[in-house]
Structure 1
Amino acid sequence: MASPTLVTPTSKLKSLVPIKVTKTTAATTTATTAIPQARRREFLSIAVATLSSPVWLFPLTPAALAASDEEYVKETEEVIQKVKSTINMDRNDPNVASAVAELRETSNSWVAKYRREKNLLARVSFRDIYSAINAVSGHYVSFGPTAPIPAKRKARILEEVETAEKNLLRGR
């Protein structure tokens, strides 16, 4: 295989010669105008930035964008209620496995929707509920859907959920 050619930068930049446009018609004489170099470079940089932007490669649909603050609050409250009800279920309850599966599906969609939102990352409620979801999901992935959550972990999860709920009501 041939080795790639190394391109080294030169110490002096050569300026480009402006393009001269010549216009001739029967009624007028020859007119020569020069297009300023900066305008051409500006146009090319805008064109390249626009065409290589990921927006063109991956167009966003309205469903992919996180919606308003009210939607965030509503969906976060739903996740909080599911977390509370799931971790407080009895180990012998026959619906534990389906509740855990439903919680995992809900929490995965919540995380996928809101973790890319820069304005939500700084919110205390987001951090607390994200941490609680991580703890619950990690436990059920490691030990199975019917394994009871240890009392210490359960208390910490419930505390995080409660603080997230309080901060959510305060708009934080």
Structure 2
Amino acid sequence: MKTNLILVAAMASSVGAFSVPGEQSARRQFLQTASAAAASAILIPTVASAEIAVPEQTKDYVFPSDWGLTYNYENDAARVRNHMVTATGLAKGADRMEDFGKNLKKEMIDFVSYYRRFPQVAGKPSFSTLYTSINVLAGHYTSYGYKYPLPEKRRKRLYQEYAEIDKSLKRNR
């Protein structure tokens, strides 16, 4: 990004080199227009085409009582995913956020430890995407602890992965 800004600034500053004092040439007009177009293309962020359903952050949530595995892959994957969606949306200061994170991390570790041993499960797209999401969330907990919410960029990426997991699980039913 920094390189792009320097490039645009250099283009804009070199516009005057091609003009005769007191007259605005076609070359100068072209370079001004081109540098303005380049600057707007670089500086205005592009919007992703995929729409992601992002749950609202809330301090009011129901602390789940269904922690642990049932040893049925589809049920366990859906349960872990749902718990991860809740954890991803928790705002700072949410009630029992630390307990939720600790329970979730244990559940995620149990899930991966159990299901990665089975080639028929480990080869599923839902498992590989869920495994990636688990690594991201567990890494956040390891680095920042359970009391700090996820940064917006990481949260957005996780919601995209959760949507993919949900689609994969629905296709297999």
- TM-score interval (norm. to shorter): 0.5 to 0.7
More helix by share: 2
Distance in 2, matches of 1:98 and 1:132, equals 20
Is it true that 1:167 corresponds to 2:163 in the alignment?
no
Is it true that 1:149 corresponds to 2:156 in the alignment?
no
Task: Summarize deviations over 1:96-152 as a string: whole Å, max 9, x none.
Answer: 100000100111110111011111122110011110011000001101111121111
Distance in 1, matches of 2:136 and 2:157, equals 9
Is it true that 1:99 corresponds to 2:100 in the alignment?
yes
1:72 aligned partner:
73
CA RMSD of the aligned region, Å? 1.6
Q: How many residues align?
A: 104
Task: Summarize deviations over 1:63-107 as a string: whole Å, max 9, x none.
Answer: xxx96xxx1000001001100111111211131100000100111
The runs of 5 or more residues in structure 1 that have no matched partner are 1-65
Q: Which runs of 4+ in 1 moved over 6 A?
A: none
3-state SS of 2:101 partner: helix
More strand by share: 1
2:140 aligned partner:
139
3-state SS of 2:91 partner: coil
TM-score (norm 1): 0.58
TM-score (norm 2): 0.57
Structure 1 residue 165, shift from structure 2 partner: 1.0
Calculate percent identity across the aligned residue pairs. 26
Structure 1 or 2, whichever has the larger Rg, is 1
3-state SS of 1:148 partner: coil
Between the two structures, name the one with larger relative contact order (CA 8 Å, sep ≥ 6): 2
